[in-house]
Amino acid sequence: MSFSVWTVLTPSVGLQGPLRIIVGALMVFFLPGYALVVALFPRQYTEERRQSPPSFKIGDDRRAVPTVVTGLERFVLSVGLSLCTVPLIGLALNSTPIEFTEINALLALGEMTLALSIIALVRWARVPPTARFRALTVSSVAGPLQSLSSGTDRTEVLLNTLLVIGLILASSGVAFAVLDGENGEQFTEFYLLSEDPESGEFVSGNYPSELTPDGETEVRIGIVNQEDQTVEYTVVILLQDIDTDGGPQPAREREIDRFSTTLEAEETWEESRAIRPALTGEELRVTYLLYTGVPPGDPGTENAYRHVHIWVSASGGGSGAAMGGEGQ
């Protein structure tokens, strides 16, 4: 019962990390059901009680022999009945004006567990002391292991001991494998945005379709570093006349801009860069190539880390010089 009180208060006292995970998991998956099981079955399991005549029916005048349950039954019922009762707490809360917030949910859970614990305590206290259920002790856990490690001769004792050690090692290994699990994805996001004329926000739309020699056509370039480390990026911008029906190599191509930036892990970089036409024609592709570190001598989509592009048409001549943009 004291454990129930403690677990109710745990989030509010700022407990964090692995300890909170363990306590929280017990609060939800075990304690409510355990309190219920003790309330229902307050007696200790013994073989002779298990083999006693069947217990009474409702209304039977015969003196009853109450049901006893083994430790394994208690454990399975504790987890199972927790899974059955915890949702009912939430649904009961839902039928009241009380919101299902963190504190309210945990308080409701804790209060129910406390109430069941009190009932369990009362029923347990009514059982003769010699017949009362005793919670798991070291001996009850070590018993099965001890029986494994006993034997009739030295070889058997050795084999049994090796089995016990092996099981402990395997359990530790499995626990480590599970706790060691972490997300292994490391990636970079690379994207283009354009300014929405009405809202002024940068959106994925309204991309420029024309480059004029005397205007400044801007596109906002974005990079998000999700590589879990600091990375130096280089962006190369190409203006390409792609053969839309044919082979992969562009008929004409100009590099119109290049710049570098270094981002720390989780950092986002955005900058608007203007593009002036270095080529003229219809259906020109403005290709943005992202590299980590130094780009190769012949940058292209086939050797870029990431690439994005838009389509424009351009009339009139241009110098092909890269244009700088406003800083972030």
Partner 1 sequence: MVKLDASRDHEEAIVFRLNTKRRVKLAALFGLGLLLITTLFTIGVPPASGYEISLYDAYPIIFWVFVVGTFFMSHLVIIASAKIPEDRTWIAGLGQVLLLNTLLLLMPYIRGYPMWGRDDALSHLGFILDISTLGGVSGANIYPNLHVVARTLSYATGLEVMSVLNLIQPVFSLVFFGALYLILKQVLDSRERVLFGLPFVTLPVLGQAHINPRPFDAAIMLIPLVLYLLVKTGEDATPSVRAAFVIAIVGSFTYHPLMPVFLLPMFLVWFFADYVPYVGRERSTPMTVVLLPFVVAVAWYQKFVGIIVRFERVYNVLVGFEGEGSPLSSYSETVSRTSPRLVDVLQIATITYGLDGVLFALGFAALGSTLLFQSEMDRAQILFGAMLTVFSFGGLSFLVLDLIVPPERPFQVAKIAAILLAGGAFYVIWDEKVRNYHAELRDTFDVAFAAVLVVLIVLATFSLYPSPLGAENNPQVAEMELEGSAWLVEHREPEPETGVQQIGINYERLYHGQYGTLSWRNTMYGEGSTVPPPRFNYTTYGTLGQNYDQDKYLLVSEGGRVTYQVTFPDYREFWRYTPENYERIERDSTVARVYANGDLETYRINATGGQEVVADVTEN
How many whole angstroms separate alpha carbon 143 and alpha carbon 137?
10
List binders of partner 1 among 224-253 (CB under 8 A). 224, 226, 242-245, 248
Cβ nearer to partner 1, comparing 137 with 152: 152
How many whole angstroms separate alpha carbon 230 and alpha carbon 228?
7
Of these, 46, 140, 186, 303, which contacts partner 1 (CB under 8 A)? Answer: 186
Total residues at interface with partner 1 (CB under 8 A): 109
224, 189 Cβ separation under 8 angstroms: yes
How many whole angstroms separate alpha carbon 149 and alpha carbon 162?
8
* Cα-based angle 320, 323, 327 (whole degrees, multiple of 5): 165
Cβ nearer to partner 1, comparing 146 with 319: 146
Cβ nearer to partner 1, comparing 103 with 319: 103
List binders of partner 1 among 105-144 (CB under 8 A). 105-106, 109, 144
User: Does residue 178 belong to the site contacting partner 1 (CB under 8 A)?
Assistant: yes
Residue closest to 72 by CA, chosen among 143, 173, 170: 143
How many whole angstroms separate alpha carbon 289 and alpha carbon 301?
7
List binders of partner 1 among 253-292 (CB under 8 A). 283, 285
- DSSP for 148-199, please give it: HH--SSHHHHHHHHHHHHHHHHHHHHHHHHHHT------EEEEEEEEE-TTT
Cβ nearer to partner 1, comparing 214 with 247: 247
Rg of the chain over all Cα atoms, to the nearest angstrom: 35
List binders of partner 1 among 137-176 (CB under 8 A). 144, 147-148, 152-153, 155-156, 159-160, 162-163, 166-167, 169-171, 173-174, 176
The minimum distance between CB 137 and partner 1, in angstroms, equals 19
How many whole angstroms separate alpha carbon 315 and alpha carbon 97?
66
Q: Which range, of 89-97, 256-264, 291-299, 316-324, touches partner 1 by CB under 8 A?
A: 89-97
The minimum distance between CB 136 and partner 1, in angstroms, equals 15
Residue closest to 162 by CA, chosen among 151, 176, 178: 151
How many whole angstroms separate alpha carbon 287 and alpha carbon 324?
17
The minimum distance between CB 206 and partner 1, in angstroms, equals 7
How many whole angstroms separate alpha carbon 44 and alpha carbon 133?
4
List binders of partner 1 among 197-226 (CB under 8 A). 199, 202-207, 209, 224, 226
Residue closest to 178 by CA, chosen among 305, 21, 24: 21
Binding mask 49-68 vs partner 1 (x if CB under 8 A, - otherwise)? -----xxxxx-----x-xx-
The minimum distance between CB 139 and partner 1, in angstroms, equals 17
Cβ nearer to partner 1, comparing 91 with 319: 91
